[in-house]
Structure 1
Amino acid sequence: MNNVRGKILWVDDEIHHLKPHILFLEEKGYHLFQASNGQDAISLAKSNSFDLVLLDQSMPGMDGLETLNKLKKIRQNQIIIMITKTEDEWLMDEAINSQIEHFLIKPVNPSQIFMACKQILEKNKLQEQKATSDYLLSFSNIDSKLSTGLNSDEWFDLYNDLVDWQIKFDRYKDIGLTNILFDQIQSCNKEFVNFFLSNYLEWLNSTNRPLFPNDIIKNCLSPKLENNEKVCLLVIDCMRLDQFKSLMPLLDPFFEIDLRYSFSLLPSATQYSRNAIFCGMFPDEMVKNYPNQANDMKLEANSLNQYENLFLKDNLNRLGYKNKSIHYHKIWAVDEGKKFQNRISDYAQKDLLAIVVNFVDLLAHKTSQMDILKELVPDESGYRTAVRSWLEQSWLYDVLKYFGKNGWSVILTSDHGSIRVKNSLMVAADKGASSGLRFKFGRNLNTNQKNALIIKEPDIYKLPSFGYQPSYLIAKFDNYFVYPNEASKYQTKFKNTFQHGGVSMEEIIVPLALMKGRGF
């Protein structure tokens, strides 16, 4: 019995007529138990654990539906295929509501029964085998692409493929390829960082470049306002591409989704990239036009984005949309989100709603502060699961469903992603240096140039210069900065936590989804 493909209980008052079917299934490797009525089936289910029950509906005494409900009380997750002579829709509805796995109409032939059993009992195994062979082929294709010299769009496509494999492997954790995929992502990251940094300065001074945060309103939002569409600009701070793609099945029933990308600015941090979304400027130009923002950034104030509403209005005025009605809302807490949801019909009178949501960013930061969150979000898969669970239960999902049902356009994006940091990098700096783990600014900053970008002339990178002899350090790959004193303490605290500010695919390649509500 070691090679048994599954234990099946077949319940039918005419079971003696089904001998050819039973023999066929047994020849295929299944172990069959038989019952001619519901009561015998209940008795067998109490003393045996069955992988699958084939259940006839039309039986004297206890019929199929009653038997089904009693089987479910014995084992809530019992897999059941209902077989019946009738095609009555009410019966199908009742059976489906009782969570049957499949519905077959008599007469059924042995091959039909076999295929239904195989599909249900071996689906995961077959899909795992297919995923394994497909990934091994994809592995070779990705390695080949790396040697060809990719452009920005091709890098997005490659990273998108890697993300799809990450999400697929969330379902098939036992196939043993997760570590191979992780290593491949690390290899791709090294190539991507070289590509990004070798082109970044040229892009900053060219109109022929990938989309940056400061281009989003002009290139993506303006055309929708021009067409008099109702638009929501939704910025989910710190959301990675893999996290957005894990949310797509929740959003697809309500929206047509056109998934694109933008590249975060350097440093890949909120005060640079998110402010750039709203003001439409590079950071150096932003601080010249808004000196108060420069002071906040220099002092590392608690709120580094308190002028976004002003930035947005000024940006739209420059673009010629002064007469458009706007409502901006930044939401940090659940209560504030629910208040927003309760007033959505009022806010929906505006031409443009701009919403900033901080949950994903807060979750990243809190994992380094709370041990229980480290257990809930130990890796990328856990982070994706947490973000999806949050959206499913959140006020934001109800708001998005409202937009979808009412035909709104939603531009859903982020300012940057995050990466799980692994390797500490010793840094030397003056006392007044900033406190970031993935980027720093200050005087006399220095570290290993192989693992970090050292910027001595911020203006070349369109970054603000703070103080005398300003410089920036930006971590590459999965490194994070620590000072030599107390290095061990901070290594223990921050290793394997999610951080941002550096340069990696996960931080730089940002999802940009143009979503059109289906209107129902």
Structure 2
Amino acid sequence: MNTIKILWVDDEIDLLKPHILFLEKKNYKVTTCKSGTEAIDVLDDENFDIVFLDENMPGLTGLETLNEIKEKKDNLPVVMITKSEEEYIMEEAIGNKIADYLIKPVNPNQILLSLKKNLDHSRLVSEKTTSNYQQEFRKIAMDLSMVNSYEEWVALYQKLIYWEIQLEDIEDVGMFEILESQKNEANIQFGKFIEKNYADWFEPNTDSPIMSHTLFKEKIVPEISKEQPTLLIVIDNLRYDQWKVFEPIINNYYKKEKEDAFFSILPTATQYARNAIFSGLMPSDMEKLFPQYWKNDTDEGGKNLHEADFLDTQMKRLSLTHLNYEYHKITNLKAGKKLADNFKSVKNNDLTVVVYNFVDMLSHSKTEMEVVKELASNDKAYRSLALSWFKNSPLLEMIQQAQQMGFKLILTTDHGTINVKNPSKVIGDRDTSLNLRYKTGRSLTYEDKDVLVTKNPKELHLPSITMSSSYIFAKSDLFFAYPNNYNHYVSYYRNSYQHGGVSLEEMIIPFVVFNPK
């Protein structure tokens, strides 16, 4: 192991001989200086892992020395040591990004603790995280064998996401692989649970979760009022884990009041799930009641062109027409900037709805563009890419402005997405839908074990394209592939992000309510 090199700067360094001997016995190499000027010269010639810096020195003061060190070596950790507890000194030092702050007299163990905290911090956190997950692993495995309600599935999925985000920053690849296998097992069991229970959720007087078509009435309407304007943001294709990494950014402006998960309807695809949110209806009802707005998979033209119209019909049905509301759909940077620049124009609305279409575009471009394939090669990278977009997006500008204007904020999505790894062969006629995670059409041939199938679409409140249409939904991380040109097709789509099927990632999605700080 490399010896850790410490630079200790103090005009009374001779009095610190016992501390230095203590550290040298622990195999630290300590170089000493009696002034800030001397320290700056030494730093020009030699590299150190950490600096202990006395604040109160003649000549160049500790704070002045700190500024010079940071100009030369911004990432070098500096621990300030001072006799004074004056607030302005602490604020100055902290503002200059000190690594730690110790008040004299210091004892050797304080020094050792500061070293551990700053130099061994990542290793210690890594070991602690690994050991905590090892304990939790057994509990998750037990929960997996017993989970039997939608509430328990939500709790289990949230726990898996928590550990995925905790483990992503540590170096233990083995732990990550164990978690991946738990997620895969969870998705297999979840597929069985949905197969057994999903159709029953539409029966009257059944204990069913909030779903796409009930979300607006049950969750959003109770939050809207004349007293406070509400900004409802629907980020297309936002997974629960992506929301969790967005959360700290939003927390700078808003405080979270409620966080719930709800279930996307099947297929977990935008034309079904998002239209269901805005219409408050299942797809078969949309087709029957509003044929002018609904398009089936095989119909020509855009499938999501009438969300604002569907919202109008729902507002009327729920007797909410006394509210001022507006609907905006953002599908490119130019439209996002335009709305952010003119955001003050929505200040008199009771409800402003913004559908933001970036994460969905990211998942599609990952399939089509080599550079994005590389940037979003796995879930960790996909989260990171989505976070980078969010931090620099017009959407965040809108959230900041909404906070200043006193808006309540609601953040949600229509469905999630899953990284597909394994192909499942399917055969259909020329009218079969094209989606990789679900298919609808006549005379479909498929692997029974790989799919949730409904021969009677009305049972799942889905439209039938023909009298003999059925639907199949891919489970776990599978994607549908046709036998012709099979190998090319499989290598092109493997490890891409798709939606439409049955998985925790696609179906269990966030609904969060905030109030401005």
TM-superposition CA deviations, 1:234-269 (whole Å, max 9, x none): 110100000000111111232222211111111110
How far has the Cα of 1:193 moved from its partner? 1.1
2:149 corresponds to:
151
What does 1:164-179 align with in structure 2 at a 5 Å threshold? Answer: 164-174=162-172, 176-179=174-177
1:487 corresponds to:
486
1:423 corresponds to:
422
Give 1:109's match in structure 2, choosing from 107, 110, 127: 107
TM-superposition CA deviations, 1:129-159 (whole Å, max 9, x none): 1111110111100111122233111111111
Which segments of 5 or more consecutive residues in structure 1 lack a partner in the other structure? none
What does 1:94-133 align with in structure 2 at a 5 Å threshold? Answer: 94-133=92-131
2:470 corresponds to:
471
TM-superposition CA deviations, 1:168-220 (whole Å, max 9, x none): 12221345311111011000111111112210010022353101011111111
Contact 2:225–2:350, Cα closer than 8 Å, also in 1: no
In 2: Cα distance, 1:293 partner to 1:427 partner = 30
In 1: Cα distance, 2:390 partner to 2:471 partner = 35
Contact 1:3–1:29, Cα closer than 8 Å, also in 2: no
How far has the Cα of 1:23 moved from its partner? 2.2
* Paired residue secondary structure (2:326): strand
1:348 corresponds to:
347
Contact 2:216–2:280, Cα closer than 8 Å, also in 1: yes
Contact 1:446–1:454, Cα closer than 8 Å, also in 2: no
For 1:294, give the aligned amino acid: W
**Counterparts in 2 of 1:119 and 1:361: CA distance versus 1, 3 Å:** same
Contact 1:128–1:175, Cα closer than 8 Å, also in 2: no
How far has the Cα of 1:106 moved from its partner? 2.3
2:8 corresponds to:
10
> Does 365-374 or 102-111 show the bigger shift?
102-111
1:259 corresponds to:
259
How far has the Cα of 1:60 moved from its partner? 2.4
1:182 corresponds to:
180
In 2: Cα distance, 1:294 partner to 1:326 partner = 22
Contact 1:300–1:434, Cα closer than 8 Å, also in 2: no
Q: Does 1:449 align with 2:448?
A: yes
So what's the TM-score if we normalise by structure 2? 0.96
1:53 corresponds to:
51
In 2: Cα distance, 1:181 partner to 1:294 partner = 41
How far has the Cα of 1:381 moved from its partner? 0.3
TM-superposition CA deviations, 1:257-306 (whole Å, max 9, x none): 221111111111001100000000011001111113333543153x2111
So what's the TM-score if we normalise by structure 1? 0.95
Which segments of 5 or more consecutive residues in structure 2 lack a partner in the other structure? none
What does 1:365-380 align with in structure 2 at a 5 Å threshold? Answer: 365-380=364-379
In 2: Cα distance, 1:133 partner to 1:365 partner = 37
2:306 corresponds to:
307
* Paired residue secondary structure (2:122): helix
In 2: Cα distance, 1:246 partner to 1:292 partner = 39
Give 1:141's match in structure 2, choosing from 139, 142, 163: 139
TM-superposition CA deviations, 1:375-408 (whole Å, max 9, x none): 1100100111011111111111121122234432
* Paired residue secondary structure (1:511): strand
Q: Does 1:272 align with 2:272?
A: yes
How far has the Cα of 1:19 moved from its partner? 1.2
**Counterparts in 2 of 1:256 and 1:300: CA distance versus 1, 3 Å:** farther
**Counterparts in 2 of 1:446 and 1:293: CA distance versus 1, 3 Å:** farther
* Paired residue secondary structure (2:295): helix
* Paired residue secondary structure (1:328): strand
TM-superposition CA deviations, 1:459-493 (whole Å, max 9, x none): 11110011242122211111111111111111121
TM-superposition CA deviations, 1:414-439 (whole Å, max 9, x none): 11100000011111100121111111
> Does 140-149 or 495-504 show the bigger shift?
140-149
2:286 corresponds to:
286
In 2: Cα distance, 1:46 partner to 1:180 partner = 46
In 1: Cα distance, 2:21 partner to 2:148 partner = 57
